[in-house]
Amino acid sequence: MKKVINRQEDIIEEMIEGFLCVNEDLYEKLDRGVVLKEKKDKVGILTGGGSGHEPLFLGFVGNGLADGAALGNVFAAPTPYNILEVIESVDSGKGVIQIYGNYAGDVLNFDMAAELAEMEGIECKSILVRDDVASAPLSRYEDRRGIAGDVFVIKLAGAAADEGLSIDEVARISQKAADNTRSIGVALSSATIPGLEKPTFTLAEDEIEFGMGIHGEPGIKRTKMMKADDLTTQMMETLFNDYPYKKGDEVSVLVNGLGSTTQMELLIVNRKVNQMLKEKGITIHHNDVNNYCTSQEMGGLSISLLLLDDELKALYNKPAYSPYYVKNA
């Protein structure tokens, strides 16, 4: 697999440098991280994880979003010291909330970073995103992984922090956002880590993996390729089976591309998603179709629903800006 890189060991550094060029006024570079230049007197919001999912995580550092991101190697959690550096940088004395997907490696590293931060007197709370309903049954909710739902949690945490709320309040809201987010993904083709020759997994030309994770983690079943409407129906039904959405519920919807699946395909899926939600009497507050949480050149997509209440909706509507995510007032 051809990748446009220089030396494998430099990809993260060089990516960050290239990102900073896009908006030098807004961002500052850390060793393996990006933070907002302007330090705000509020609870700091930090996100991060393994690289390779761009624009996540660095593209979700911005106004009304995360204040900083700690970046690991491709598909590998950042180190505790990288995370600590971001924590120190985004803390204004009001504490820091770390938002990250529930993966063994991330938990180990963010936990250790939080311990180090606490030793420096920085209050640090962790919100784990566990939106991937395919990654474990409801009975093992604790085991569920985080995928594109990160976007919703970062957006709402950022908005809450901007309101000047206390760390406990921001944590409560972020946790609610995480609890209210459900996603389901499907993979059509494989992903290759830059510098490696072979993809991490393979799928036959007529095969898809329903529920596959964004690092190629196995999903619910390997099945035959099907029509967009059938696939979307199965995906939505998996979400509907996971939570009793009811008439009158209000949601934000993200149809997220994993890499090589085209915007056209995502829009075709989005059409069916909207139809199904409308049939159930669920109101769509906001609908986004984009590549936010990718997995290298993986083919496939995920559908995420964020269930809104009045509090979350008000925060969802607040403006936000990064070069990869804009919400106008």
Ligand X SMILES: Nc1ncnc2c1ncn2[C@@H]1O[C@H](COP(=O)(O)OP(=O)(O)O)[C@@H](O)[C@H]1O
Contacts of 30 (CB under 8 A, 6+ apart): 68, 82, 85, 86, 89
Q: Are strands 325-327 and 320-322 parallel, antiparallel or unpaired?
A: antiparallel
Distance CA 209, CA 1 (A): 21
53 carries an active-site annotation:
yes
Q: Which of 33, 59, 62, 80 binds another protein (CB under 8 A)?
A: 80
105 binds ligand X, rule: CB under 6 A: yes
Distance CA 123, CA 166 (A): 11
Nearer to Mg ion, 76 or 212 (CB): 76
Name the minimum Å distance from CB 191 to another protein: 9
Q: Are strands 221-224 and 207-210 parallel, antiparallel or unpaired?
A: antiparallel
195 binds a copy of itself, rule: CB under 8 A: no
Residue 295, CA distances (Å) to 45, 185, 220 in order: 24, 12, 18
Select which of 32, 155, 182, 215 is catalytic.
215
Residue 108, CA distances (Å) to 36, 68, 76, 111, 146 in order: 25, 19, 11, 5, 15
215 carries an active-site annotation:
yes
Among the candidate windows 78-86, 230-238, 253-261, 280-288, which touches another protein by CB under 8 A? 78-86
Q: Which of 76, 113, 253, 306 binds ligand X (CB under 6 A)?
A: 76
Contacts of 45 (CB under 8 A, 6+ apart): 65, 66, 67, 68, 90, 96, 97, 99, 154, 157, 158, 161, 170
Distance CA 107, CA 103 (A): 6
Contacts of 171 (CB under 8 A, 6+ apart): 97, 125, 127
181 binds a copy of itself, rule: CB under 8 A: no
Q: Which of 61, 69, 77, 273 binds another protein (CB under 8 A)?
A: 77
Distance CA 305, CA 307 (A): 6
76 binds Mg ion, rule: CB under 5 A: yes
Residue 120 three-state SS = coil
CB 177 within 8 A of CB 150: no
Name the minimum Å distance from CB 247 to another protein: 33
Select which of 32, 53, 94, 176 is catalytic.
53
110 binds Mg ion, rule: CB under 5 A: no
Give the one entry of a copy of itself, another protein, ligand X, none that residue 328 binds, where binding means its C-beta sits below a cut-off of 5 to 8 angstroms depending on kind.
a copy of itself
Catalytic residues, by residue number, are 53, 215
* Contact residues: another protein, CB under 8 A: 8-9, 50, 72-82, 103-105, 108-109, 112, 135-136, 143, 145, 193, 195-196, 198, 200-201, 213, 215-219
* Contact residues: Mg ion, CB under 5 A: 75-76
* Contact residues: a copy of itself, CB under 8 A: 1-6, 11, 14-19, 21-23, 51-52, 54-55, 59, 74, 188-189, 194, 205-206, 208, 225, 227-229, 231, 259-271, 273-274, 284, 287-291, 294, 296-297, 299, 301, 321, 323-324, 326, 328
